[in-house]
Amino acid sequence: MPIIHSRAWVPAPIGEVFAFFDDPANLPRLMPPMVPIRLVRVDPAPPRPGSVFEFAYGPGPFRRSWTVRLVDRVVNERFVDETISGPMRRFHHSHAFTSGRRGTWIEDRIDYHVGPDGPIGSAVDWLAGRVMRLTFVWRHAMQRRILR
């Protein structure tokens, strides 16, 4: 399965950075305008292992549901979420936070598979990976703008 790694630095303390990412309502602030997304529900709240987040994403008539479960969470260190249902057959996303000089390093690792299996699925995974990598370019710029 394909894996995406991303690493970015922001000029903010780890507690502030973790708190921002720990709130799923902040995800729309990090996404490019062409990927509209909104938080529908968090159950139970506040987020903790086992919490389920439901998002609605996509433009107008193409809007779809994406449901994610928080599977691991260590305050100011990491959290991991995975898709229960949504656009991908597999989407396992780990977020790690490390204090750096005058800021925080944010590291993402996404293990994903859009499907189907075989050569067509590999092509779809490649395309999805390109889109996600471009999304992270936008996301890094927004992180630096928001977290100062």
pLDDT (tens place) for every residue of the chain, 148 residues total: 899 999 999 999 999 999 999 999 999 999 999 889 999 999 999 999 999 999 999 888 989 999 999 999 999 999 999 999 998 999 999 999 999 989 999 999 999 999 888 999 999 999 999 999 999 999 999 999 999 8
Three-state DSSP state, 91: strand
Would you state the pLDDT for residue 13? 98
Would you state the pLDDT for residue 132? 94
C-beta of residue 59 within 8 angstroms of C-beta of residue 36? yes
- Spatial distance between the Cα atoms of 38 and 124, rounded to a whole number of angstroms: 25
Which residue from 27, 14, 97, 22 is spatially nearest to 56, judged by alpha carbons? 27
**Contact partners, residue 39, CB within 8 Å, separation at least 6:** 24, 25, 27, 28, 53, 54, 55
User: How many structural domains is the chain composed of?
Assistant: 1
Would you state the pLDDT for residue 90? 95
CATH code, 25: 3.30.530.20
Would you state the pLDDT for residue 53? 98
**Contact partners, residue 94, CB within 8 Å, separation at least 6:** 72, 78, 79, 80, 108, 109, 110
Where do we find the tokens 């890094």?
A: 140
Would you state the pLDDT for residue 115? 82
Q: What is the domain extent for residue 101?
A: 3-146
Which residue from 124, 35, 55 is spatially nearest to 88, judged by alpha carbons? 124
